Structure 1
Amino acid sequence: MCLVECDLRWGIPKDTPSGKIFATCLGELDRCHQDTFGKPLMVVLLGERAGWIPQAAEVPQEIVETYNWINGVSVTGTEILHGAYRNCNPNAAFCLRDPSFLAQLPSQDLPRYQDKGHHALFIQTLKEQVCNRFPKQQILKYKCQVLGTDCTTGMEKVRMGFSDEFSSWILQFLKTRILQTFSEQTTTIVQKKQLSWQQTELAQHQLFLNQKQQLFLGRNIEIQNILDFLNMDAANTQNPSQNENFCTSLYQVISQPGMGKSSLLAASISKTLQSPKSKVFYHFVGCCPSSVQLSNLVMRLCCFIMLDGPELEDVLLKLRDCWRNEEMKGILEMVLHSTSRLGNSPSYVFIDGVNQLSHPSDVSDLLSWLSTPGFLPHHYKCVISCIPTTSINSNPPPNCLYLDLLPMDTAQSLAMMYLSRYCKTLSSEQLQQLLQKSSSANPLWLSLACEELRVFGVFEMLTKKILEFPDSLQGLLASIIQRLVQEDQSNLVKNLLSLLHCCKEGAVETDLQGAMSTLDGGAEIPTMHWASLRRTLSSLLRVGRDYRGRDRLSFFHGSVVQAVEQCLLTSYNARKQYLLILADYYEHKCTEEATVVHQLPRLLQEAGLNGRLVEFLRKDPRARSIQAHVRAQYLKTLRCSHVCRNGFPRTAAMICGMCTFKVGAFGQLFPNKQSCVLCGTHVAIMGKEAFLCPQHNRTGRSECLVCKLPIIGVPPPTPAILCHMCGFSETCISLNI
């Protein structure tokens, strides 16, 4: 469930016909009726003014008949009748302000807070009827006091002071009513079959696909171009033998960030799925943390091609053990060209955001595979999207679509549709001011701008807000982040954004909560504060699920990563403190071993804590589950760069007789003499001799690589050895820590 607030104070331009005002306000209540089983959650604030009371001629007959409108009742009164009074709605809270504060007002301000004559009689009668009809548990009579004046909106207003009871009572009322209204849903436990790894991954991509379609408009020509490519008969395409560099199975969608590549592919995928004979695989890089790994993409594609069974499990096991992309390519190519459950029927592969793969080498390798004629079988067609700097280098690129800016009419429709989801409408003048920004032709900029307007509470300053929008995507994101940080007195916004920036693939929500509690002196963040924080940052975050079904947070777009760095982490030291906080949490408090071994080494490496990194890799039992090639890669960056091949000054590294048969010196379970002295891999055959450069063997005598004591010869020492991976680089084995 999610709670979506509707504030009817803005969203209806001043020149709107009265019929539309009624339809908008009461229509929103109708939507609440549907979502809450006919008992909409309402907070009604009543002072000493009745509000607008329309004349009978101003109310359309349709409104009179549909909502049983009563002549002489104000719009506010009609909302109360429709949403609460007629059905004795238990989810309606009535907050009645004590009129005693009026005595504190200057005489010239009284008309703005108190009606006279018929209007005063109406509001008094309305309050009496509410008190007679509803139990006291639904009514709060509260007091306030005048604190001065407020001119922040451009017009002078009286500033009120309220007791804590006012907000706490409303909050408790809503919490209680939500639990009671949805009691059947919250207490009924549905036993579900445990989802497989493949199903869990697919669910993430399906959710992203549905989200990206919701606000997609226009681009009909671009969609048709993609569909034409997919339906193109291979016999009618250019003969690959005439041009070896031309791949008829690949189509590229290229544009700058925020231009709507993901939405375009989502719409194209949906169109393709409508064909009952189509076999469609899609992968949105960045839709969830695991999706940025090339191995994850390849494994999902193999699951799509092959039948469930031992053969598939064997392939997945081999892919998990791969540490070179060339090996992964060979396995995927074998699967693609083998007999599969798909047969030879047309099969379509969509890969969105190729440039967001976690390693640059993965990006270039994947593009190289897909663009090689013959890599994909003849009945396969592949559509990818990427930014210009990572597109396949071809002049001109074959089968390529460059996304242009949105046309003005499409941008206008997009803005109107976005706001209409929350029953809000800009005036024609405000809409034109928004569309006059050159960046409004960028779908991402426009949707972010509309979200900023939606949550902007000072409706008198809406036009000023529009005019002040930065006219660039990075500028707008920076202004949003700066506003959120400034409005948050607790630093929770800054801390969460900064911690998340240090988690390249996102992080489990509970881990972020644990790390943030460290920043707050060890105290747990209250659930209500965390929920509010997530809601505050909802426009910048993407919420996914990990393999255990836990919420996992990440930034929804790569541009947000840059904006956070620009606003909050301008120096290495600023980022290092958050890296250290995360490292401390994962090392000492996180109970999920798989998460620790995945996150901690990277954090220690980026924070420059080389000593702790080596200590973890070699001494912590949890690190033994790290694959050898991953361990070697971390240690490779710390290795001395002095060359120790034949012809260069060097000294053989030795292990004394006492340490030879011991275990664990390099993080392994085998005897030290049989283990690589860098990564700890067991070396059965073909071990390479390890050497030290003169700088790291300055004593002039041999000392044990493990215990650092002089080697005296009895029992005899053993030469230190390297595995094939670590021995490939003929440099000194000393680590710079």
Structure 2
Amino acid sequence: MSHPTKSHQRFPFRATVHIRKNFRKLPPITQPIRPLEKDSRAPSSSLSATNIDLKYESSSPIGVDDFWNKLHQHIANQTSEHNDDHGNQNAPNKVVRIFVSSTFTDFFNEREVFPALRDEMEPAGLQIIDCDLRWGVPKDSTTEQTILTCLEELDRCFDDNGQPFFIGLVSDKYGWVPRLDELPTNITKRYHWIEGASITLMEFIHGALRTQNPNALFLIRNSENILKSIPDKYTDRFQDKDEYNQNQIQELRNQLHRIVAPEQIVHYDCLYDGLDSSSGRERVKIDGLNDFEEQTKKFLIEAIKKWYPSNFNNTNRSDPEQQQINTFLLNKTQIFVDRPKEFASLLKYITGDHKDFSLIDGEPSNKKNAQPLMALTGRSGDGKTMLLGKFVLTIEETQQSKFLLFYYFFDGAFHAQASHFMLTSLKQKLDKYLADNNIISPRTNERLKITDDSFLPDAIELLSIPLFIVVDGLDKVNMHADLIY
């Protein structure tokens, strides 16, 4: 490797950052039909829930039996496109999206089960993201925007994980049912089963029922104790009064046992525990959820381990330092920077197509396969780390057979001797590659010893594919005085 002070290319970084949200912002299609009576308990902030229970002037919805017959026909006609698909993530570091679906006003307590799950999964190189859209849709969204936001977020789960990790919470509320005349044609054509479905049931169907998703868990609350105990003024937060909705929620409970495997359904009990005003809005407190939490955690851990077994194979696990960096990168790149020009320049550099780059210091090397260093510079906060993080994760997924990729992000490594750990990790990466490919030294006819002083240059010399090294945050670390790294 050339000395960094003698030969490198500088890559200026001054472009404006454009942030993309997790879902596409849809333009208004039709003027939204205003509800005659909006639930007064809906959040007053500019962001409101996707599963807010609203009351609309009733139209004649499809009959309950007709609805479920139509849905069963749809399920029977579905292909098995997702059954063996584990998503588009080929790298060891993966995002596991857990989509949580329920009606809005009655499941605040049950949704808080994920911190312990994150702690359990991170050492395996998996980042847990709970997709909870209660606060994710702008208040003035049209019906189409609301529906598509929910279903397209589920589509993102399909893209990443093949079959979403899905939690469906069922009680005595069916939720908001959009009127048929509110549903644009493109929605009804795309989702044939949508008429008569509440927003919550749409999520159930799209994320689990239509594909017979093995990663879905439905938790059905036994609400008798709560309904007997809560003050009368809060009853409508936990139980529908509309006859159609009551019939649908009862039939939903029956149909879940018909469609879903028994091991994917849990009935649980809980207790009324008074009222809580600590958040500024009085809410009903529910207690006795220990069994709910344990059952949910147990199912998800087993499902994730079964879905991604290689992440739990000790021989495939990276060292703790690298796992720490992997977790940092997954978190860092969730909201990503759209920089096609800079991304393309990085790709050109690693493929050797950098003749149009200007060498700002030193002389071109005559060594075989040598190329100067590229320096990515910019002001603090410009998004350098995010760009490099997204780049290495993309390369790791799409071109891992073409390069031996090593990356080290000092912001993700919390050690005083981070430079030492970086070199150690690089040696371990090279040693594993040589061992996996049965590469030995032609001079000794033996494997190189990682403890030898010459291991690093000798190992690089034996590689059959280019070694691509990305180091982020060199300016934040006290490297060796002579800058040999």
Give the structure-2-normalised TM-score: 0.48
Which is greater in Rg?
1
Query: In proportion to residue count, which structure has more helix?
Result: 1
